[in-house]
Amino acid sequence: MKNRKKEKLTISARISAITIITVFILGSFWMLSNAFTKNKLPVLGEPGHMAGAFSFVNQDGKQINEKSVENKVTLVEFFFTSCPSICPRMNENLNEVYKKFKQDTGFMILSHTADPERDSVSVLKKYAQQYNAGTPGWEFLTGDKDALYKTASRDYLLAAADSGSSNFIHTQYVTLLDRQRRIRGFYDGTNKESVSKLESDIKTLLKEDSNE
């Protein structure tokens, strides 16, 4: 009888131990899965939205298109070199982003001018030199005005337009795209906290599998 009781106790203890271990493993797996889901950036825009084809010229006079950013995480902005207000602050902040990621060949910044009539290749070259911006890490782009504005609104969901005066309509927000050209975030380029979040999200996207 005593041996049977001991045997039952032993079996019960084993079952309890196995139950506790199983609950612990499942709980840990749930916590890890939940943390991964929380850290994963959403895909923004209409379902299936992806930035399309483009073709502009950079500060070196080189043609840059969708093939140039293939399988790269890209950060997109619209500005103009004579902008007296938000552009200098935006590009000072983006310069910090550029310096942190310029050694990573999987990341690029695309800065499009909203004033292509004045922002020629030579003007953009001089402007880029203020930030020690080199290609292909940081591309300053010019080209056809209509194409630039359509690309802003259609592909990157940003504002860029000619106001009909010496000023141009553009936004302080920048768009972050993943390797598949899907929009994963919008950030205030003039705000340090928003730019800090941007840097964190760039790191997240650089770690993502390009086949996701």
Q: Each residue of 133-142: pLDDT tens digit?
A: 999 999 999 9
What separation, in Å, do the N-terminal and C-terminal C-alpha atoms of the chain show?
Answer: 61
The Cα 46–Cα 35 span in angstroms is 26
Q: Which CATH architecture has domain 55-207?
A: 3-Layer(aba) Sandwich (3.40)
Helices (H), the chain: 2-39, 86-101, 121-130, 145-150, 192-207
Q: What is the pLDDT along the chain (212 residues), one digit of tens a residue?
A: 544 444 444 544 443 443 333 333 333 333 333 334 445 899 999 999 999 999 999 999 999 999 999 999 999 999 999 998 899 999 999 999 999 999 999 999 999 999 999 999 999 999 999 999 999 999 999 999 999 999 999 999 998 877 665 667 788 999 999 999 999 999 999 999 999 999 999 999 999 865 45
Contact 123, 81 (CB under 8 A): yes
Number of CB atoms found within 10 A of residue 100's CB: 13
Q: What is the pLDDT of residue 129?
A: 97
pLDDT of residue 170: 80
